[in-house]
Structure 1
Amino acid sequence: MISAQDWSDAHRLWDFQRMGHEERPCSVGIGLGSHDLGVADATVGLYRRGMFPLMVFTGATSRTTEGRMPRGEAEHYRERALELGVPESAILVEPHARNTGENIRFSRSVLHDHGVHVSSILLISKPYEERRAYATARKLWPDVDVVSASTNMRLEEYVDSIGDARLVLDMLVGAQQRLLVYPERGFTIAQEIPEDVLGAYERLRQAGFVSRLMAE
C-alpha cells in the first residue's frame, strides 16, 4: 500500500530530479538508452522543433531491456526514430554503453569520429534521470553546455505508462541515492540537495522503496 505521505514524498523527488531547463537549440541531441521508448519519441520531437540537426542514440542492453530490446537500446531507438520519419542521415548510433558515464564518453567519441564539432548538447533521458544525466555530462564533458530534457509528463502519467507504481517509486529513490553517492565516487559533479528532498528520500527508504538502491 502506498500512503498519501509516500506519494507526497515521491512528488518531491520527481520535481527535484527534473531540471526544468529551457529547451534551446544545441549542436546535437543525445538520447540516453533505457527501457523507455519515450526517450526516443522525445528526442524526435525536439529534432522536429529544430533543437538540433543531429541525434545520437546510445545504449547496449541491460537485464531490464535485453528481453524487450534484443538488438540494443540505441538500435531500437534508431528504429523508432526512422518510423517517425527522421532521415537516417540525422541519426548516429552508439551501441556499447551500459551506464550513464559510458553513454556520455562513448557518444563523445562517436561524434569526434564523425568530425562533428560540439559546443552544446541537449541530453534526453527519462524524466527522473534528468538531474543525474546532467551531473554526469558536466563531470565528463565540462567544455560543452548541457541542457537536460525529457518527456513532459506528470508523475501520475509516468506511473500509468509504466504500470507499476511501486517500481516507479523504487526508481525515484534509487535515482536520488545516486545523486548523493556518485559525486563522492567521481562519477558526477556535486549538486546542492535541499533538506526537504533529503527528508522525502529518507522517508521513502524507511517505507521500503528500496529495490533500486545500490549497496553503499
Structure 2
Amino acid sequence: MISSQARSDAQVLWDHHLMHHDPRPCSVAVGLGSHDLQVADTAANLFRRGMMPLIVFTGATSRTTRDRMPRGEAVHYRERALELGVPGSAVLVEPRARNTGENIRFSRALLEEAGVDVSSVLLISKPYEERRAHATARKLWPGVEFVSASPRMTFEEYLASIQDDQLVIDMLVGALQRLMIYPAQGFMVRDPLPDEVAAAYERLRRAGFTSRLVAEGSDADR
C-alpha cells in the first residue's frame, strides 16, 4: 500500500518531469523506446495532426521490455504506428539504443545518413522522461530546437494504466536521480532543481522507492 505522503511526493516529481510544452510542427519526431506503447500511440496521433513528416523510433530491449517486446522496442513501436495508420514510408527504425544518450546519438546519426535536414525535433517519451530526454538532447544535439511530448494523462491516470504503483514511483525517483547526477558526468545539461522537488525525492528514496536508482559514476542507463 502506497502512503498518502508518498503519493503526494510522487505527484511533485511527476509535475517536475513534464516540460509542459505545446506540440508544434517539427522537422522530425523521435520516439524513445520503453515498455509503454502509448509513446507510439502519441507519435501516430501527432503525425495525423501534421506535426511532423517523419518519425524515428529508437530502442533495443531492456530488462523491463525483453519479454513483452522481444523484437525490440523500436520495432514494436513501428508496428503499432502502422496499425494506427502511419505509412511505413514515414517511419525509420533505430534498433540499437539501450539508453537515452544512445537514443539521441543513434537517431541523429540515422537521420544524417538518410540526408534529412533537421532544425527541430519533437521528442516523444513517457511523461516522466520528458525532462531527462530534453536535457540529454540539448547536450548531444546542439543547434536543434527540441519540443517535448508524451501521452497526455494525469499522474493518477498513468498509475491506473500501468497498474503497478511501486514500479511507477520507483521510475519517477530514478529519473529524478539521473537529472541530478548525469550533468556532472557530461550526459546532459543541468536544469535547476526546485527545493520542493529535491525534498520530495529524498523522502521517497528514504521510503524505499529505490529499485531504479543507479550507482553514482555508472553510465549503464544514461
**TM-score with structure 1 setting the length:** 0.99
Following superposition, the deviation at residue 2 of structure 1 comes to: 1.4
Q: Deviations over 1:16-54 (max 9, x none)?
A: 000001211000000000010000000111111111000
Name structure 2 gaps, 5 residues minimum. Answer: 217-222
Q: What is the SS of the residue equivalent to 1:148?
A: strand
User: Considering only aligned residues, what root-mean-square deviation do their CA atoms show, in Å?
Assistant: 0.6
Query: Quick check: 1:101 aligned with 2:94?
Result: no
Q: What is the SS of the residue equivalent to 1:121?
A: strand
1:191 paired residue number: 191
Distance 2:5 2:82 in 1: 43
Q: What is the SS of the residue equivalent to 1:20?
A: coil
Following superposition, the deviation at residue 201 of structure 1 comes to: 0.3
Matches within 5 A, 1:72-111: 72-111=72-111
Distance 1:168 1:63 in 2: 15
Matches within 5 A, 1:159-178: 159-178=159-178
Query: Quick check: 1:30 aligned with 2:30?
Result: yes
Following superposition, the deviation at residue 55 of structure 1 comes to: 0.3
1:128 paired residue number: 128
Q: What is the SS of the residue equivalent to 1:213?
A: coil
Following superposition, the deviation at residue 142 of structure 1 comes to: 1.2
Identity between Structure 1 and Structure 2 (%): 69
Instruction: Give structure 1 regions of 4+ aligned residues with deviation exceeding 6 angstroms.
Output: none
Matches within 5 A, 1:129-148: 129-148=129-148
1:149 paired residue number: 149
2:114 paired residue number: 114
Q: What is the SS of the residue equivalent to 1:112?
A: helix
Distance 2:22 2:86 in 1: 23
Following superposition, the deviation at residue 74 of structure 1 comes to: 0.3
**TM-score with structure 2 setting the length:** 0.96
Distance 1:197 1:142 in 2: 27
2:219 paired residue number: none
2:220 paired residue number: none
